[in-house]
């Protein structure tokens, strides 16, 4: 007598117990705190904030701990939590022109107003494993501080725009932009939604797509006009006040990528810009996003759009790693009902194939 | 027949600074084969696409009288209406077979698709009709399950024509149907088209830069240059006694060749 | 530093059935619209759920939006109540909605399902909620959503019919054994979700409400009660629901859909009902 396998409930409970045990690891070692993750694995925290679409370093650090360092899982945790928060007001647009810059570089000018600020970067480090880090030691010496640069750091793209060499983005309206987390993506997709989708897109996917535009899949000739990272103030204008107040600072990374455009009947030849913005410190993400943003403008600019990075449906519907991982991993779920249908189908088709062969065989022999 | 099938007038269309159509009027009568000739850039393909409702002109009217005698205002027609015409009473043969065929679908599927979109739901009958049409365009019906990729350029065009004609349209648009083919293949294909058109009493509007093709197929010839019709008339008259100097040049260059 | 919410009772922080009421209303509007246009896919602002995309988030959101305290919920996956994903989803609702759950098809007011329709005939007042991975029936033929939307608007389904023609020409029968597309109310081509073709006829003129939720793809669609649902086919090659021709080892049924169980590595196999409730009922359990 066959008895169906039962006990899914018990199995799930036991599996999750085991998972918790694995998460903690060797109890002879000190437990990692979310604060430590936040301080010492800061770039992982920033990536989870970006892909989790939620600027909260403490929650992102907790998610990383809970996810055992699986950053996509952590972004998922953060997204699911974010989704339960009520949305009562939208802040004013952040002004990255007024950023308190920690890092600011331009590849298009040797020097420029405000200067080049290298900041905390892996650039120009030699990628040699530093075995000194394996041993606990004294903290590194505090970096030297330069005089704070006074005056403004105008954006490079603005300098070009004043000369008419750079297209200007259309001025925003007072209308609230559409919200990707509330509405499904429409196609064709307006740029605010495109940028939102890219800003929370998977860094690896964006990187690969951006890279592909440099290798001929999409006609890109990009320059980093400017990459800047630092703190910006978040302003909120409550209706009852009638003016904006500061509610705190967030760190963001912004990249403006300059690209040539051949011009059309209506528009003179000029530079166009691709835009990238990442929560926290995320240069690779911001740069890749800027490349892809520009590639997605191909159709609007009347350029030939043949490369994957220029196909908005392809890019935007596959950039989300929380969606992607869910659907790829759902293949682990039982599919035996469908598979049974496939089995019966294949058996039936094979039987027909065999019957036709058998029927044809004598004729063939006769022909020989 | 007392009324034209397709009537158009006052067609204007600009692409930037280029006047692709500059006040064009053309009528097509039932059973009539009309060739639009001219150099590339003369606006002849644009005219074909405007008349077939594939692109809209800036100004002008295109009227089609359907089987029920109802006059359809093509520019005002919804996309659904245009597609329905294109699936039933009209046909379009593209220069490039890739634009007119599904390259991954068998010959039978390609021909059968129009029957299915017209509501055909009997596999056996669809298949029999597809095979019949392959024979009528002088293809081997035994190759019904092969995809267009296996066929030569000339055979692909025959397949495209079969796919178009299977639902017995009244009006067929052809855009350089023999362009890009070898001369001997062209001649056979033109012969086939001529035979089918005569037998079925089709109205055909076709675009070509090949004066010889126009002479072979057309009852009437329309000569276009810079988005305007510079001359039109019965095929023999236009070719043997061209009035406009541009037509004289066109005809002369074919004679020289 | 930002405050982390108290962790001891996470569920207490959530609304009944997890989603907030505004979101439920948004989903209900989509459901009503879907019922009004049978078989037509309605875009909706699907939310991230605490379960992964592809694991039933669409079905869960639909269930959450229609679930009331007096409902009796049944959750099945592959026809069974005790498969891990069914257990997990049932636990989720027990946790955030505290509703009564059941494994009995007859007792359930809402049945959330993945890949099956129960064997027992559904009745008026019952609601089936299908988890849908790919709502677009044409996606294998045309991946671009902007284009498939146009084809639906124009009612142009020759692409799907041609695919069927090709299958029959090549292999003598339809190539799809599950998720075989259906025409709903003679107007919209619809994916019945990946149910086996065996279950397709159960959708036709059913007295129950059929709701389909696709979370990742952010679409909801529906078949209202007593609506025609016809599997795509040809007059001379009618659609054939297929089941393994064996009888159930446990209950002896020769009409129910069967799972094939590999019994040993000598090629031994047996067949049992995929619908565990139906099988138990047959056995008088």
CATH T-level topology, domain C5-139+172-231: Rossmann fold (3.40.50)
Residues of chain B in contact with residue C153, where contact means CB-CB under 8 angstroms, are 80
From the list A58, A185, A340, which residue is nearest C4 (CB)?
A: A58
Nearest chain C residue (CA) to A324: C53
User: What's the confidence (pLDDT) of residue C8?
Assistant: 37
Contact at CB, B116 and C153, closer than 8 angstroms: no
- In the residue annotation, C175 being an active-site residue is answered as no
- In the residue annotation, C251 being an active-site residue is answered as yes
Nearest chain B residue (CA) to C158: B117
Nearest chain C residue (CA) to A77: C50
The number of CA neighbours under 13 Å toward the Cβ of B20 is 18
Angstroms from C217 CA to nearest CA on chain A: 8
From the list B106, B113, B114, which residue is nearest C169 (CB)?
A: B106
Model confidence band, residue C254 (pLDDT cutoffs 50, 70, 90): very high
- In the residue annotation, C248 being an active-site residue is answered as yes
Contact at CB, B121 and C235, closer than 8 angstroms: yes
- What is the arithmetic mean of pLDDT over C27-38? 98
Strand B59-65 and strand A100-105: the pairing is: unpaired
Contact at CB, B117 and C169, closer than 8 angstroms: no
B91/B177 Cα distance (integer angstroms): 13
Q: Please indicate if any CB of chain A lies within 8 Å of the CB of C133.
A: yes
Q: Please indicate if any CB of chain A lies within 8 Å of the CB of C93.
A: no
User: What's the confidence (pLDDT) of residue C3?
Assistant: 45
C 48-77 residues with CB < 8 A to A: 48-50, 52-55, 57, 77
Angstroms from B113 CA to nearest CA on chain C: 6
User: What's the confidence (pLDDT) of residue C80?
Assistant: 94
Whether C9 shows a pLDDT value over 60: the answer reads no
- What is the arithmetic mean of pLDDT over A61-89? 93
Contact at CB, B145 and C169, closer than 8 angstroms: yes
A-C CB pairs within 8 A amount to 169
Whether C53 shows a pLDDT value over 70: the answer reads yes
Q: Which one, of B110, B89, B209, B227, lies nearest residue B158 by Cα?
A: B110
User: What's the confidence (pLDDT) of residue A175?
Assistant: 76
What mean pLDDT is reported for chain A? Answer: 88
- What is the arithmetic mean of pLDDT over C12-27? 87
Residues of chain B in contact with residue C230, where contact means CB-CB under 8 angstroms, are none
Model confidence band, residue B249 (pLDDT cutoffs 50, 70, 90): confident
From the list B109, B114, B124, which residue is nearest C166 (CB)?
A: B109
Residues of chain C in contact with residue A344, where contact means CB-CB under 8 angstroms, are 177, 242-244
Q: Please indicate if any CB of chain A lies within 8 Å of the CB of C13.
A: yes
- What is the arithmetic mean of pLDDT over C20-44? 96
- In the residue annotation, C279 being an active-site residue is answered as yes
Chain B neighbours, 3+ Cβ pairs < 8 A: C
From the list B105, B124, B145, which residue is nearest C162 (CB)?
A: B105
- What is the arithmetic mean of pLDDT over B120-136? 96
Contact at CB, B124 and C236, closer than 8 angstroms: yes
Q: Which one, of A349, C145, C169, C193, lies nearest residue B116 by Cα?
A: C169
What mean pLDDT is reported for chain C? Answer: 92
Lowest-confidence region among A124-138, A201-215, C88-102: A124-138
- Mutate: best of B121, B122, B144, B166, partner C, most C CBs <10 A: B121
Residues of chain B in contact with residue C170, where contact means CB-CB under 8 angstroms, are 145
- Torsion angle, alpha carbons of A122, A123, A128, A133, to 10: -20
- What is the arithmetic mean of pLDDT over A214-224? 86
Whether C285 shows a pLDDT value over 90: the answer reads no
For chain C, domain boundaries: 5-139+172-231, 243-285
Whether C57 shows a pLDDT value over 70: the answer reads yes
Give first-to-last CA distance, chain C, whole Å.
57
Model confidence band, residue A147 (pLDDT cutoffs 50, 70, 90): low
Whether B47 shows a pLDDT value over 50: the answer reads yes
A85-111 pLDDT tens trace:
888 788 899 999 899 999 999 998 888
B-C CB pairs within 8 A amount to 53
Name the phi and psi angles at C238, rounded to 5: -65, 150
Place of tokens 């362009």: B179
User: What's the confidence (pLDDT) of residue B256?
Assistant: 45
- What is the arithmetic mean of pLDDT over A38-60? 96
B12/A142 Cα distance (integer angstroms): 73
Q: Please indicate if any CB of chain C lies within 8 Å of the CB of A19.
A: no
Q: Please indicate if any CB of chain B lies within 8 Å of the CB of C165.
A: yes
Residues of chain C in contact with residue B113, where contact means CB-CB under 8 angstroms, are 158, 161-162
- What is the arithmetic mean of pLDDT over B35-43? 90
Q: 3-class DSSP state for residue B28? A: strand
Q: Which residue among the candidates C56, C59, C79, C279 is catalytic per the annotation?
A: C279
Percent of chain C with pLDDT over 90: 74
Whether C42 shows a pLDDT value over 90: the answer reads yes
CB pairs under 8 A, 24+ apart, for A267-276?
Answer: A267/A167, A270/A164, A270/A165, A270/A166, A270/A167, A271/A160, A271/A165, A271/A166, A271/A167, A272/A166, A272/A167, A272/A297, A272/A301, A273/A157, A273/A166, A273/A167, A273/A169, A273/A225, A274/A222, A275/A169, A275/A195, A276/A198
From the list C14, C52, C242, which residue is nearest A84 (CB)?
A: C14
- In the residue annotation, C58 being an active-site residue is answered as no
| Cβ(B40)–Cβ(B18) below 8 Å | no
Contact at CB, C165 and B117, closer than 8 angstroms: no
Q: Which residue among the candidates C56, C248, C267, C268 is catalytic per the annotation?
A: C248
Percent of chain B with pLDDT over 90: 70
Model confidence band, residue B160 (pLDDT cutoffs 50, 70, 90): very high
Residues of chain B in contact with residue C146, where contact means CB-CB under 8 angstroms, are none
Q: Please indicate if any CB of chain B lies within 8 Å of the CB of C235.
A: yes
Percent of chain A with pLDDT over 90: 56
Residue C113 parent element (H or E): strand C110-114
Q: Which residue among the candidates C56, C58, C197, C273 is catalytic per the annotation?
A: C273
User: What's the confidence (pLDDT) of residue A270?
Assistant: 85
C247/C270 Cα distance (integer angstroms): 9
Q: Please indicate if any CB of chain C lies within 8 Å of the CB of A354.
A: no
User: What's the confidence (pLDDT) of residue C30?
Assistant: 98
- Torsion angle, alpha carbons of C175, C177, C179, C184, to 10: 80
Residues of chain C in contact with residue B112, where contact means CB-CB under 8 angstroms, are 162, 165
Whether B254 shows a pLDDT value over 70: the answer reads no
Residues of chain C in contact with residue B117, where contact means CB-CB under 8 angstroms, are 156, 158, 161
- What is the arithmetic mean of pLDDT over B186-195? 90
Other C-beta atoms lying within 10 Å of the C-beta of residue A79: 23
Chain A neighbours, 3+ Cβ pairs < 8 A: C
The DSSP annotation for A120-131 comes to S-STT------G
User: What's the confidence (pLDDT) of residue A366?
Assistant: 52
Give the pair of three-digit tokens for residue B236: 């023999």
| Cβ(C2)–Cβ(A58) below 8 Å | yes
Residues of chain C in contact with residue B144, where contact means CB-CB under 8 angstroms, are 169
A 139-158 residues with CB < 8 A to C: none
Model confidence band, residue C107 (pLDDT cutoffs 50, 70, 90): very high
Question: Sign of torsion, CA C116 C121 C124 C126?
Answer: negative
Q: Please indicate if any CB of chain B lies within 8 Å of the CB of C168.
A: yes
Phi and psi based region of residue B82 (left: phi greater than 0; alpha: psi -120 to 50; beta: remaining):
alpha
| Cβ(C139)–Cβ(C148) below 8 Å | yes
Q: Which residue among the candidates C39, C56, C59, C215 is catalytic per the annotation?
A: C39
Q: Please indicate if any CB of chain C lies within 8 Å of the CB of B123.
A: yes
Nearest chain B residue (CA) to C170: B145
From the list A59, A327, A343, which residue is nearest C53 (CB)?
A: A327
Contact at CB, A326 and C85, closer than 8 angstroms: no
A162-185 pLDDT tens trace:
888 887 777 777 777 889 988 899
What mean pLDDT is reported for chain B? Answer: 91
Give first-to-last CA distance, chain A, whole Å.
55
A266-302 pLDDT tens trace:
677 888 889 999 999 999 999 999 999 999 998 888 8
């Amino acid at each position: 007598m066959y008895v169906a396998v039962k006990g899914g409930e018990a199995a799930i409970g036991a599996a999750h117990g085991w998972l918790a045990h694995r998460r903690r690891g060797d109890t002879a070692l000190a437990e990692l705190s979310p604060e430590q993750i936040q301080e010492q694995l800061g770039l992982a925290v920033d990536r989870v904030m970006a892909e989790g679409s939620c600027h909260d370093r403490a929650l992102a650090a907790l998610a990383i701990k809970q996810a055992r360092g699986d950053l996509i899982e952590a972004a998922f945790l953060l997204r699911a939590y974010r989704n339960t928060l009520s949305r009562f007001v939208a802040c004013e647009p952040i002004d990255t022109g007024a950023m308190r810059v920690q890092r600011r570089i331009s590849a298009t000018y040797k020097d420029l107003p405000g200067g080049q600020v290298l900041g905390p970067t892996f650039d120009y480090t030699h990628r040699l494993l530093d075995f000194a880090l394996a041993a606990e030691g004294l903290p590194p010496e505090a970096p030297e501080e330069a005089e704070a640069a006074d005056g403004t750091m105008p954006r490079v793209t603005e300098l070009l725009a004043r000369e008419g060499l750079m297209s200007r983005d259309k001025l925003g309206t007072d209308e609230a932009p559409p919200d990707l987390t509330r509405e499904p993506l429409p196609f064709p997709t307006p740029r605010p939604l495109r940028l939102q989708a890219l800003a929370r897109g998977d860094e690896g996917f964006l990187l690969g797509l951006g890279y592909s535009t440099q290798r001929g899949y999409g006609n890109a000739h990009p320059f980093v006009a400017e990459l800047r990272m630092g703190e910006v103030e978040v302003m909120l204008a409550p209706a009852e006040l009638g003016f904006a107040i500061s509610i705190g600072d967030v760190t963001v990374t912004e990249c403006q990528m300059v690209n040539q455009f051949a011009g059309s009947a209506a528009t003179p030849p000029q530079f166009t810009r691709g835009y990238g913005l990442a929560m926290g410190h995320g240069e690779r993400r911001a740069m890749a996003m800027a490349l892809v943003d520009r590639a997605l403008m191909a159709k609007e600019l009347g350029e030939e759009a043949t490369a994957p990075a220029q196909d908005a449906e392809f890019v935007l519907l596959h950039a989300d790693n929380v969606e992607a991982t869910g659907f790829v991993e759902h293949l682990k779920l039982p599919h035996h009902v469908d598979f049974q249908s496939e089995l019966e189908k294949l058996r039936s088709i094979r039987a027909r194939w065999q019957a036709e062969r058998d029927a044809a065989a004598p004729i063939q022999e006769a022909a020989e | 027949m007392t009324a034209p099938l397709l009537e158009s007038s006052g067609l204007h269309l600009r692409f930037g600074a280029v006047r692709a159509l500059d006040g064009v009027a053309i009528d097509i009568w039932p059973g009539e084969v009309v060739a639009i000739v001219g150099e590339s850039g003369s606006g002849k393909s644009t005219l074909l696409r405007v008349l077939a409702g594939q692109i809209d002109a800036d100004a002008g009217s295109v009227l089609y009288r359907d089987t029920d005698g109802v006059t359809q205002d093509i520019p005002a027609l919804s996309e659904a209406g245009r597609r329905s015409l294109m699936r039933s009473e009209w046909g379009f043969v593209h220069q490039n077979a890739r634009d007119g065929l599904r390259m991954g679908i068998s010959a039978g599927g390609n021909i059968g698709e129009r029957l299915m979109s017209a509501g055909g739901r009997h596999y056996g009958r669809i298949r029999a009709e597809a095979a019949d049409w392959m024979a009528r365009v002088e293809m081997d019906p035994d190759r019904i399950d092969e995809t267009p990729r296996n066929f030569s350029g000339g055979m692909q065009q025959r397949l495209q024509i079969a796919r178009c004609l299977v639902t017995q349209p009244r009006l067929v648009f052809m855009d350089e149907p023999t362009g890009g083919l070898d001369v001997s293949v062209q001649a056979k294909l033109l012969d086939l088209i001529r035979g089918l058109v005569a037998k079925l009493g089709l109205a055909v509007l076709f675009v070509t830069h090949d004066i010889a093709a126009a002479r072979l197929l057309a009852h009437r010839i329309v000569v276009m240059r810079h988005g305007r019709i510079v001359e039109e008339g019965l095929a023999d008259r236009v070719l043997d006694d061209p009035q406009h100097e541009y037509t004289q040049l066109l005809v002369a260059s074919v004679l020289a060749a | 530093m930002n405050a982390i919410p108290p962790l001891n009772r996470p569920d207490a922080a959530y609304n009944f059935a997890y989603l907030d009421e505004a979101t439920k209303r948004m989903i209900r509007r989509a459901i009503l619209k879907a019922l009004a246009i049978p078989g037509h896919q309605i875009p909706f602002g699907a939310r991230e759920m605490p379960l992964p995309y592809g694991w039933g988030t669409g079905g869960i959101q639909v269930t959450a939006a229609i679930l009331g305290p007096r409902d009796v919920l049944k959750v099945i996956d592959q026809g069974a109540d005790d498969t891990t994903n069914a257990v997990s989803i049932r636990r989720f609702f027990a946790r955030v909605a505290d509703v009564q759950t059941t494994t009995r098809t007859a007792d359930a007011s809402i049945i959330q399902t993945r890949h099956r329709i129960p064997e027992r005939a559904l009745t008026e007042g019952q609601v089936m909620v299908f988890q849908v991975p790919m709502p677009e029936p044409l996606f294998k033929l045309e991946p671009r959503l902007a284009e498939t939307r146009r084809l639906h608007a124009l009612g142009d389904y020759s692409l799907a019919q041609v695919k069927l023609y090709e299958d029959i020409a090549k292999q003598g029968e339809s190539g799809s054994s599950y998720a075989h597309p259906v025409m709903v109310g003679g107007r919209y081509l619809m994916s019945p979700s990946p149910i086996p073709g065996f279950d397709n006829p159960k959708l036709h003129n059913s007295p129950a409400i059929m709701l389909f939720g696709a979370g990742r793809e952010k679409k909801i669609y529906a078949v209202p009660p007593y609506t025609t649902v016809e599997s795509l086919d040809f007059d001379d090659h009618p659609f054939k629901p297929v089941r393994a021709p064996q009888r159930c080892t446990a209950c002896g049924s020769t009409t129910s859909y069967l799972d094939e169980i590999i019994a040993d590595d000598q090629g031994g196999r047996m067949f049992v009902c995929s619908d565990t409730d139906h099988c138990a009922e047959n056995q008088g359990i």
